[in-house]
Chain A
């Protein structure tokens, strides 16, 4: 595509304008990774392969590639190169998690509270994770809008945000929202909703309010444009809460719904049909294996743990076969961490899916291309293909093996985690004061 544009001068100037506003594209690094076992994810595995990265984009994949002078060469020595891991459900790199006071707070915007200083970013990089969908928590029926970040450790917060990702709105159902695992204190009465039926009723009423809000603005616009607008015409009060819900109804936002038990998901699918909004995925979805037909028919995917279950009643019928079984039934499945600790072994979690019925290649997809598809960024990341962004992770063994460790994590051609360099630093420091080894 880039060659085509070079031929057309007019399009070139347009492209330059477009690219300059997405300055990260031009700012990416250059690398040549040699002799790696390349797990492309969407194609065949390439043994002894090379990957050339220019300006943060994968330029070439092949054998015996050469790089322009000055480009850093990374000798993989047979080690495994995979696309950078994408975690579709976390809460890292944010200044807060829950606006847990009201049950409906769609007006809060997680993109405004990105905290690029969070050391969890480094922890995630040490586990090969390059991109996260970091979210409002599950304290509310309707939480807030979420944000997708690239884990560019050390860069300012605004440079982490991935603008191309689907804009998402967090919904939650079940025990967290009902606050059923909380001790009630006098002076703090039980918040509505206290039941699952209350939660759904709340969503319905709020969306109906949002519809009324949209209608009020339409009425105002109509009157304003009319030949004799009334003298007492005032615009309606701008309500950020209802604006966000209106965006959901307009299709500008998609819902990501935290739901565990099957009836929650069935009913949320009904709500989405009732109001015409789109669902990006169900989060956690422990009982998805019970309703694969409904999920498949609705074309809604799930973002799940592999086997971290039995911590709440609603997770008591979660089975480790869930992810594999749903994948086999044709549902788009990703594995997430929802934890600043589990994020650094997300590749192990995916590896477990092999025990429960998937091949290693299928399991690899759960943390790469599937996640990218769910976030709407599969054109840019999620596999090793020419033209995609160079978000890569280098592992000592096959990433689906229990014996592997992440050695290097690269985002858009820049190395953000380098175990070898880290060990050298430690050795230098420890000669001074008797360190780790």
Chain B
């Protein structure tokens, strides 16, 4: 470490440097006394691995240097100097990729039992209760997450190192958080909080709005109300005299940053019609929007192309109940779920539409399975990789920190034995925020 300082600093600053060093040492000792504070992480050098930086072409035999959770250097074996204090990780025969990002999950949330499993008695019992609308635009989902070590490890084995955890109830579902899967402690994991407001085209039960057209009218009215509220607030701030003050509305307050200040809104589109409905709303209110779900996006590709909106495309291939493929009997539905829906991503790729892939609706096992199916259905492997790295990083506004193996970015990477999307490939090591996780090979 001294070597570096000597190289970088002119002699005149040396006393200052020493003082600074002492300060740092003192500070770190204080830090170590307080649990959970960011510790200085070790340095690593991954050597002799085949590197897929994503932002640059593949490096056949290369070195990655990581220091204190950040990538210090990436390059071909000969060109990169390995620091003395770096722990050597022999990676010959292994591939290194940026850690995958799933930009839409409901990870670590306790989901309620679906009414599908309720008995008629329970259902009637529920019906007897006065209905309350379940809208949570103010909800910070980070307050609800309960990370579990097994889940973190399971997702590591699927290659995922970063997730967006999104709320999942109501129409205005709440605000999501971006997490690095570096541990099971929330404060260590948070990358961006909040990220976006999430809206789903669902309905309420027994209370307005209880129908798809009611939901659309409800959304539209709320957006208008937010605009009116903002107008009123502004005017009141400028000159309150003789002006009746706006009545405080927590719902509209929560919407102000997104509808007025254009912070990102994510619309969950569960079929092709919902994509069209979202696009219409986005255009009407000039929202800064992202579409998620999008499992029927290929059927609306022309409109998506001209709208040019970031897409988070799920790898869940189940046909929505409203789809024509779901209404003509079991055989046609199964055929569609085997042939058509897996080809969604590859069709978008053919139309030169940018998109990210997500694990929304899936667990770690069928995420991997479906990812392979999508590639088999025609999605080029390198595009799949970009759709899980740099594209979601860009959409999340974190492309300066994540999404590729470049110096300065966060050290999120995975080491695989075999090509990433192959059947027999296994994840050997995962690094998140510079913390190394080693996994035994499991015969897959």
The answer to whether A and B come from one shared complex is: yes
Q: Which of B206, B210, B211, B276 contacts A188 (CB 8 A)?
A: B206
Q: Smallest CB-CB separation from B239: which chain A residue?
A: A231
**Chain A nearest CB, measured from B362 CB (Å):** 24
User: Is the beta-carbon distance between B130 and A187 smaller than 8 angstroms?
Assistant: yes
Give the residues from 218 to 270 in chain B that come closer than 8 angstroms, CB to CB, to chain A. Answer: 220-221, 224-225, 228, 231-232, 235, 239, 241-244
**Chain B nearest CB, measured from A135 CB (Å):** 11
User: Is the beta-carbon distance between B128 and A240 smaller than 8 angstroms?
Assistant: no
User: Is the beta-carbon distance between A108 and B213 smaller than 8 angstroms?
Assistant: yes
Residues in A whose Cβ lies below 8 Å from that of B187:
none
User: Is the beta-carbon distance between A115 and B273 smaller than 8 angstroms?
Assistant: yes
CB-based closest 8 A-B pairs: A96-B211, A117-B324, A99-B214, A108-B213, A232-B243, A95-B212, A101-B208, A107-B217
Residues in A whose Cβ lies below 8 Å from that of B322:
95, 115, 117-118
User: Is the beta-carbon distance between B220 and A240 smaller than 8 angstroms?
Assistant: yes
State the total of A-B contacts with C-beta under 8 angstroms.
Answer: 119
B17 at the interface (CB under 8 A from A): no
User: Is the beta-carbon distance between A95 and B213 smaller than 8 angstroms?
Assistant: yes
A185 to B322, CA, bound (A): 30
A249 to B354, CA, bound (A): 47
Q: Which of A95, A109, A157, A186 contacts B128 (CB 8 A)?
A: A186
- Given contacts A185-B128, A188-B127, A234-B235, whether A108 and B243 have CB atoms under 8 Å apart is no
A417 to B322, CA, bound (A): 22
Q: Which of B207, B211, B225, B232 contacts A97 (CB 8 A)?
A: B211
**Chain A nearest CB, measured from B236 CB (Å):** 9
Q: Which of B228, B273, B300 contacts A113 (CB 8 A)?
A: B273
Q: Which of A109, A156, A158, A239 contacts B213 (CB 8 A)?
A: A109
B366 at the interface (CB under 8 A from A): no
Q: Smallest CB-CB separation from B277: which chain A residue?
A: A112
A80-100 to B contact mask, C-beta < 8 Å, 1/0 = 000000000000001111111
Residues in B whose Cβ lies below 8 Å from that of A341:
none
User: Is the beta-carbon distance between A157 and B273 smaller than 8 angstroms?
Assistant: yes
Give the residues from 299 to 328 in chain B that come closer than 8 angstroms, CB to CB, to chain A. Answer: 299-300, 322-324, 327-328
User: Is the beta-carbon distance between B207 and A101 smaller than 8 angstroms?
Assistant: yes
6 residue pairs A–B, Cβ–Cβ below 8 Å: A102-B208, A109-B217, A112-B216, A113-B211, A232-B239, A240-B220
Given A99-B217, A101-B207, A107-B217, 15 more A-B residue pairs with CB atoms under 8 Å apart are: A95-B322, A96-B212, A97-B211, A99-B214, A100-B211, A109-B217, A112-B213, A117-B324, A144-B213, A188-B206, A232-B244, A234-B231, A237-B224, A237-B225, A238-B228
B129 at the interface (CB under 8 A from A): yes
User: Is the beta-carbon distance between A105 and B214 smaller than 8 angstroms?
Assistant: yes
A234 to B245, CA, bound (A): 12
Q: Smallest CB-CB separation from B204: which chain A residue?
A: A101
User: Is the beta-carbon distance between A99 and B216 smaller than 8 angstroms?
Assistant: no
Give the residues from 21 to 43 in chain A that come closer than 8 angstroms, CB to CB, to chain B. Answer: none
Residues in B whose Cβ lies below 8 Å from that of A99:
208-211, 213-214, 217
A265 at the interface (CB under 8 A from B): no
A281 to B276, CA, bound (A): 32
B1 at the interface (CB under 8 A from A): no
User: Is the beta-carbon distance between A101 and B214 smaller than 8 angstroms?
Assistant: yes
A235 to B228, CA, bound (A): 8
Residues in A whose Cβ lies below 8 Å from that of B206:
101, 188
Q: Which of A108, A157, A237 contacts B214 (CB 8 A)?
A: A108
SS class, residues of chain A in contact with chain B = loop
A43 to B243, CA, bound (A): 67
Residues in A whose Cβ lies below 8 Å from that of B220:
240
Q: Smallest CB-CB separation from A158: which chain B residue?
A: B276
**Interface residues of A, count at CB 8 A:** 40
User: Is the beta-carbon distance between B216 and A108 smaller than 8 angstroms?
Assistant: yes
User: Is the beta-carbon distance between A105 and B217 smaller than 8 angstroms?
Assistant: yes
Question: Taking beta carbons and an 8 Å cutoff, which residues of B are in contact with A?
Answer: 124, 127-131, 203-204, 206-214, 216-217, 220-221, 224-225, 228, 231-232, 235, 239, 241-244, 271-273, 276-277, 280, 299-300, 322-324, 327-328
Residues in A whose Cβ lies below 8 Å from that of B272:
117
Q: Which of A96, A109, A119 contacts B324 (CB 8 A)?
A: A119
Give the residues from 131 to 155 in chain A that come closer than 8 angstroms, CB to CB, to chain B. Answer: 136, 144
Give the residues from 225 to 241 in chain A that come closer than 8 angstroms, CB to CB, to chain B. Answer: 230-232, 234-235, 237-240
- Among A96, A230, A231, chain B packs the most CB atoms within 10 A around the CB of A96
A343 to B40, CA, bound (A): 73
User: Is the beta-carbon distance between B211 and A119 smaller than 8 angstroms?
Assistant: no
**Chain B nearest CB, measured from A163 CB (Å):** 16
A11 to B235, CA, bound (A): 49
A232 to B245, CA, bound (A): 11
Residues in B whose Cβ lies below 8 Å from that of A237:
224-225, 228
User: Is the beta-carbon distance between B130 and A188 smaller than 8 angstroms?
Assistant: yes
A367 at the interface (CB under 8 A from B): no
- Among B213, B272, B322, chain A packs the most CB atoms within 10 A around the CB of B213
Residues in B whose Cβ lies below 8 Å from that of A144:
213
- Among B225, B228, B299, B324, chain A packs the most CB atoms within 10 A around the CB of B324
A422 to B15, CA, bound (A): 91
Q: Smallest CB-CB separation from A186: which chain B residue?
A: B128
Residues in B whose Cβ lies below 8 Å from that of A113:
211-213, 216, 273, 277
A114 at the interface (CB under 8 A from B): yes
Q: Smallest CB-CB separation from A137: which chain B residue?
A: B211
Residues in B whose Cβ lies below 8 Å from that of A331:
none
A103-131 to B contact mask, C-beta < 8 Å, 1/0 = 00101111011111111000000000000
Q: Smallest CB-CB separation from B207: which chain A residue?
A: A101
Residues in B whose Cβ lies below 8 Å from that of A107:
217, 221
User: Is the beta-carbon distance between B324 and A98 smaller than 8 angstroms?
Assistant: no
Q: Which of A117, A231, A235, A239 contacts B323 (CB 8 A)?
A: A117
A95 to B270, CA, bound (A): 12
Residues in B whose Cβ lies below 8 Å from that of A96:
203, 211-214
User: Is the beta-carbon distance between A232 and B127 smaller than 8 angstroms?
Assistant: no
User: Is the beta-carbon distance between A109 and B216 smaller than 8 angstroms?
Assistant: yes
User: Is the beta-carbon distance between A98 and B211 smaller than 8 angstroms?
Assistant: yes
